[in-house]
Structure 1
């Protein structure tokens, strides 16, 4: 299951983020999104955990957790295909 982590402190490293989530299970991948122009964090990232139960436990326990100077927000990441389908279903005004 892929999770979206928002409101990351710009100084948070991928290792710190991975370590935090590994407390709830195996982390398959960990990515903090970097601004190519400044080479600094954009303040969000993604975690992939192979077991949905572990990912759900991490989401429940870490949403609102303070990491660095910020309270992070954790939720299930939406698939890009799902986002396109949802926007196509909404009538334009």
Structure 2
């Protein structure tokens, strides 16, 4: 799966990592629903760090279509809320 972090670039991420990332995604969704801005910020940072850790960066000149687009690390709760699908940022 090719994932784009807005403002940073693209990474290739094995589908097998989606289950692990879904845990953080579920946490982020719960914090957004409750309006927990501090928890949201912390969990968003943890989610992006985990994607960076597990993923392999694509070259900057690569123009692959992204299967998933994640917000930047400085995105607001409202901006991320607008990006969310029914089940969060990650499928499944």
Query: Where on the TM-score scale, by shorter chain, does this alignment land: which range?
Result: 0.3 to 0.5
Structure showing greater radius of gyration is: 1
- Bigger proportion of residues as helix: 2
Q: Which has the higher strand share?
A: 1
User: Taking structure 2 as the reference length, what is the TM-score of the superposition?
Assistant: 0.32
TM-score by length of 1: 0.32
Which structure ranks higher in relative contact order (CA pairs < 8 Å, sequence separation ≥ 6)?
A: 2
